[in-house]
């Protein structure tokens, strides 16, 4: 009798474990493969007057690469993402070195990527943070039509 009960519980235990794995993968999809447009940096709104090209990034999940534009120059690098603890770090960052005609958020944006150690996502808004301090930067997901 005990063997039958344990055996009959196995599919339920497996189903619960599978749901947990799928939930982790879905959470990862909420951050990767999206165009994240910068809307706020160091508590200040980012407007068209703050950039030459729209500052944004995309986390490519197949090779853990980050690509984007920091408001004047393109950049890329690698990232490590832990969706269970919401930890993220960026490394091996490189950027083009074009001269920017007007003042931009570029330097602050690139510095934030160096400092960030965690993130949070609510609906279509991503926040990059360091420790438990106020958000360093906020981004909104942009969906192409």
Summarised one tens digit per residue, pLDDT across range 114-127 is 999 999 999 999 99
Are both 10 and 56 inside the same structural domain?
A: no
Are both 44 and 64 inside the same structural domain?
A: yes
Which pair of structure tokens corresponds to residue 20?
């947990």
Quote the domain boundaries for residue 73: 32-142
**Over the stretch 84-103, which tens digit does the pLDDT of each residue have?**
999 999 999 999 999 888 77
Are both 26 and 95 inside the same structural domain?
A: no
Strands 125-129 and 118-122, sheet pairing: antiparallel
Total count of domains within the chain: 2
Are both 47 and 85 inside the same structural domain?
A: yes
Nearest to 99, CA basis, from 68, 75, 72: 72
pLDDT surpassing 60 at residue 9:
no
Cα-Cα end-to-end distance for the chain:
58
**Over the stretch 10-26, which tens digit does the pLDDT of each residue have?**
443 433 333 333 334 44
The 3-state DSSP class for residue 77 equals strand
Q: For the full predicted model, state whether its pTM sits above 0.85.
A: no
pLDDT surpassing 60 at residue 44:
yes
Q: What's the count of helices (H) and strands (E) in the chain, helices before strands?
A: 2, 9
């Amino acid at each position: 009798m005990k063997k039958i009960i344990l055996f009959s519980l196995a599919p339920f235990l497996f189903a619960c474990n599978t749901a947990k794995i799928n939930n982790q993968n879905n959470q990862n999809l909420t951050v990767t493969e999206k165009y994240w447009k910068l809307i706020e940096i160091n508590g200040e709104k980012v407007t068209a007057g703050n950039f030459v090209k729209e500052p944004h990034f995309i986390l490519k999940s197949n090779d853990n690469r980050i690509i984007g534009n920091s408001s004047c120059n393109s950049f890329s690098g690698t990232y490590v993402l832990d969706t269970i603890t919401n930890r993220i770090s960026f490394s091996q960052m490189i950027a083009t070195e074009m001269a920017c005609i007007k003042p931009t958020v570029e330097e602050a944006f690139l510095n934030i990527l160096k400092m960030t150690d965690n993130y949070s996502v609510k609906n279509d808004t991503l926040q990059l943070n360091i420790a438990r301090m106020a958000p360093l930067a906020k981004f909104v997901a942009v969906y192409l039509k």
